[in-house]
Amino acid sequence: MEQVRLNKYLAQCGVCSRRDADRLIDDGAVLVNGRLAERGMQVTEQDEIQVRGKTVYAVRKPVVLAFYKPFGVTCTERDAHAEKIISDLVKYPERVTYAGRLDKDSEGLLLLSNDGDLIQAMMKGANRHEKEYLVRVDREIGKDFTDKMAGGVFLEELQLTTRECTVEKTGKYTFRIVLTQGVNRQIKRMCRACGCRVTGLKRIRVMHVTLGDLKPGEYRELDGRDVERLYRDCGLALPS
């Protein structure tokens, strides 16, 4: 059986992120074959692994949900100060977590899954997976704006230039943009560097999955063909 680091295994099982898994291990909440786990140890599916007394199992059937995150919901799994978080709206029988966050004041498509490896692969900027957004700004835009955005914008605070992207004007104050990288608050930073401020932002597509006819707060489970395509496009083998 293939050996993997314990924190990765727990993430694959959908228990928590790798970082949180390390915290659980440090807190003595994880047992491997009846013994306290240690950071960095290697495990296989044949090992009995318990978290807070509950046995966990590797993901057998991958689940992917398309969720319409509404405005005002915070992308976090725990935050005592957040008024509303994703788990308040997504009541699914097993733990799922999101790939690529959206700001509290943004809305649109989030993909959620019980497979930590798929989450990591979808979020990895080097994979250049497309994400499409509809954006509204606070001033009228023209070809100079769309050309500048599409050609790559230097972000002084991060000392980097964004990748070339697709930008299409859709109205006096609105445009569509397709990104292939995951810089934090990228669209807002790009717009600010181009002299305007984002007043509305909606993500409508991640890779080949679209928001479709979902309404804010709703989610749908992707069918087998869509899930298979996600794994294939991320270069991963489908769990069996």
Whether the Cβ atoms of residue 201 and residue 188 lie closer than 8 Å to each other: yes
Domains and CATH numbers, the chain: 4-55 (3.10.290.10), 64-125+209-221 (3.30.70.580), 128-206 (3.30.2350.10)
Question: Using CA atoms, how far apart are residues 121 and 235, in angstroms rounded to an integer?
Answer: 8
Whether the Cβ atoms of residue 148 and residue 194 lie closer than 8 Å to each other: yes
Whether the Cβ atoms of residue 24 and residue 16 lie closer than 8 Å to each other: yes
**Catalytic residue ranges:** 103
Q: How confident is the model over 125-173, as pLDDT tens digits?
A: 778 999 999 999 999 999 999 999 999 999 999 999 999 999 999 999 9
pTM of the model: 0.80
Element (H, E) at 233: helix 224-233
pLDDT under 50: residue ranges of the chain: none
Of the candidates 206, 214, 205, 143, the residue with the CA atom closest to the CA atom of residue 175:
143
Confidence at residue 123, expressed as pLDDT on a 0 to 100 scale: 85
Confidence at residue 78, expressed as pLDDT on a 0 to 100 scale: 65
How large is the angle between the packed helices 116-123 and 224-233, nearest 10 degrees? 60
Q: How confident is the model over 55-76, as pLDDT tens digits?
A: 887 766 889 999 999 999 988 7
Confidence at residue 80, expressed as pLDDT on a 0 to 100 scale: 63
Question: Residue 30 has which token pair?
Answer: 């994880």
Question: Residue 112 has which token pair?
Answer: 């959620």
